[in-house]
Structure 1
Amino acid sequence: MPDIRVGAQIFDIAFHPTESLVYTGLLSGEVKAFSYDEQGNHECKFSVRPSKRSCRAIAVGHDGGKLWAGGKGKALHTIDVATGVVADTRAAAHAAAINRMKPLLPHLLATGDDDGVIKLWDPRKPDAIRAYAQHFDFISDFLFLEDKKQLVTTSGDGTLSVIDVRSKKTEPIAHSEDQEDELLSIVPIKGGQKFVVGTQLGILSIFNRKSGWGDCVDRIPGHPHSVDALCALPSRYPSAQSTVLTGSSDGLMRAVQLFPTKLLGVVADHGDFPVERIAIDQNGEGRWVGSAGHEEVLKLTDLNEIFEDEDDEDEDEKSNGGSEEDSDEGSGDEEDKATAAREDAKREDPDEEEDSDKDEVKEEDEADSSDEEPQQKKRKRKKEQDPLQAMKKRKGRNEVDAEPSFFADL
């Protein structure tokens, strides 16, 4: 799809949950909406400027009817998507510039500012429900855990925290140790059991939900610059459980597989401009991934073209498995027919039965002797050890061994 030129630097992007609409928050303070189709055509649906200050964060409601916007002006704006006009404005919603926001429940919205303050809002009420101040630097990203109704936040102060949105307490239920690096983004993998956190130094920190939120369990180096944005793949892809899209300040959006670590390829190239936002349409299950840097352009990339080979391989494996089963069934029928023929021959000629038995014994002996050499070869192959597995056994808890050549092109 051709790049969508928006006329100003993009701070944030968001997709409509069900329709082919994408929204952009711009440095100029404008919020622009664009429609798109599978043929690569796009059209600007509306452009509204709720504030003269930059729009840093936007979020779409669960039903797609409302769009919230916030930024340097510190106000929280509600935009009616159907009409493209500002329906409500909460002035001075934060004491500092709003840097991030995320809808959690149908009537619950989270916002985070440059001072590390997090607020929960009910859009039906004028004031915030609760405010949290466990961080002292900018809020970089949000992740909502649906099963526990918990909000995970990452911050530039080098820590992440976990908030139970059902509790009336203004303290988090968990707060990690200082990771000695700015935490910029977070995304779940392995069905929400593990979490990948992007950092300023380009290291991917892995947190294990069962191990708690105190510290990461693995660190995966490789990105030459900061990992500003992370996004999970749609669940229809076979490797979705362990593959993430990473947006780095070197201008590349990559597909990286974890456990084992493998670079699958570059999905989009923004040149010299850092990739600070990544999102996938249709609530993360669509075919288009949007990425934004500083070049005043929104890139929409077709995931089907990038990962179609993976789907083909998976289908080939299934078809091969089915053909093997069919061949096994066919050979079984032939064996049954041959056995029945031998039984008939035995009844007609007992002497021939003895001769055939001797011949069968000889054939079995010859088969056994001919099978000895291949069996020895199989045993030798089993004794061979994978050098990568040996390296894994020797690695420490928070270390990952990888050859330097693997990360040469990252």
Structure 2
Amino acid sequence: MALFFPLAFHLEFESNVLDVAVHPTRRLLASALDGGTLQLHVYDACDGSGGATLQLLPLHTLGGATQPACTATCFLGGIGGTSDSNGWVAAGGAAGGLSVWDVDTGAAVWSRNSAHSSRVKCAAPLGPQLLATGDSWGGLHVWDLRSRAAAAGVQLPADGAATDLCLVEGKDSLVAVSSSGTEGHLSTISLRQMSSPKVMGSCRHAAPIHSVATLHGGRTVLCGDDRGKWGLGRWGQLREGEVLFRAGEGCCRSAAC
């Protein structure tokens, strides 16, 4: 599988890429592979004979609790992160494992072989050494990496697979999307008490939802669904608004804020 970039560069992998993450403040790219490893690259723009290109230099190939397939990844830090957590990357696996590494040394920082009872589908940073992960059975866990205690958990509605997560900064809330059969759900989770997250509301969407992001300081929610449409709604609501983007006959699997 290949990743293509707008600066006329592509990166070849030996197996399929299931998720990617870009560090919020450093020039780092993480790629989760179905072969069970997480590959880190350093990228930089340079001037070549054909104009500007993007260089990606291998940094680390990481493996651990992400076997047999690395299915979700995110960088920690960038949300009030400490200098330590700004250099960490997390990844989950098909068997429910979860690992965190130091991106500079490649050393394991934290690991759980049975973090989830099913496939880890998504991961999102919540703050300094705080991480949220969702699985294919709709389970959502909040991890405090400073503690060895078990994660706080909550079950998303309709028992669908959690497909994406997005922190709403300044609201102590997390937006989660899930899919079950031919429909999707958007849920808001209160993080006022990290040790006891609560589902504050949920609404149904007429198609499976694959991605979510917030805009305008968290006042607007943007979702990509299985029909190749973006759904746009105000905070606390999800209504299918104007079709802002149509991805041909495919589906919208990525949203960025």
In 1, distance between residues paired with 2:168 and 2:19? 22
* Selected match of 2:15 from 8, 14, 24: 8
The CA distance in 2 between the partners of 1:169 and 1:46, in whole Å, is: 35
1:223 to 220, 243, 247: 247
Higher helix proportion: 1
Counterpart of 2:50 in structure 1 is none
Instruction: Answer with 1 or 2: which has the greater Rg.
Output: 1
Task: Give the corresponding residue for 1:56.
Answer: 71
Looking at structure 1, the residues matched to 71 and 149 of structure 2 have their Cα atoms a distance apart, in angstroms, of: 21
Instruction: Return the alpha-carbon distance in structure 1 between the equivalents of residues 23 and 247 of structure 2.
Output: 31
* TM-score (ref. length: structure 2): 0.82
**What is the alpha-carbon root mean square deviation over aligned residues?**
1.8
Letter in 1 for 2:171: K
Specify the code of the residue in structure 1 equivalent to 2:118: A
2:99 to 54, 66, 77: 77
Q: Where does 1:182-331 land on structure 2 (aligned, <5 Å)?
A: 182-209=208-235, 212-213=236-237, 215-216=238-239, 218-220=241-243, 222-224=246-248, 225-232=250-257
C-alpha distance 198-29 of structure 1, shift in aligned 2 (>3 A) = same
Which residue number corresponds to residue 139 of structure 2? Answer: 117
- Normalised TM-score (structure 1): 0.53
Per-residue CA deviation, residues 221-248 of structure 1 (Å, 9 max, x unaligned), is 743321111123xxxxxxxxxxxxxxxx
2:41 aligned with 1:41: no
- 1:314-359, Cα deviation, whole Å (9 max, x unpaired): xxxxxxxxxxxxxxxxxxxxxxxxxxxxxxxxxxxxxxxxxxxxxx
Contact 2:221–2:233, Cα closer than 8 Å, also in 1: yes
Q: CA separation in 1, counterparts of 2:155 and 2:241?
A: 28
Deviates more, 1:166-175 or 1:92-101: 166-175
1:164-217 CA-partner distances (Å, limit 9, x unpaired): 1123545311111x21211111122344322221111122211112xx32x416
Asked which structure has the greater RCO (Cα within 8 Å, sep 6+), the reply is: 1
Checking the alignment, whether the CA contact within 8 Å between 2:156 and 2:162 is kept in structure 1 is no
Amino acid in structure 2 at the alignment position of 1:144: L
User: How far has the Cα of 1:129 moved from its partner?
Assistant: 3.5
Which has the larger strand fraction?
Answer: 2
2-structure distance, mates of 1:112, 1:179? 19
Tell whether the 8 Å contact from 1:143 to 1:186 is kept in structure 2 after alignment.
yes
- Percent identical across equivalent pairs? 24
> Residue 49 of structure 2 corresponds to which residue in structure 1?
none
- Show structure 2 runs of 5+ residues with no match: 1-6, 47-53, 78-84
Kept in 1: contact 2:19–2:33 (CA 8 A)? yes
For structure 1, which runs of at least 5 residues remain unmatched after alignment?
233-410
Q: 141-150 or 5-14, which moves further after superposition?
A: 5-14
Q: Distance in 1 between matches of 2:240 and 2:121?
A: 28
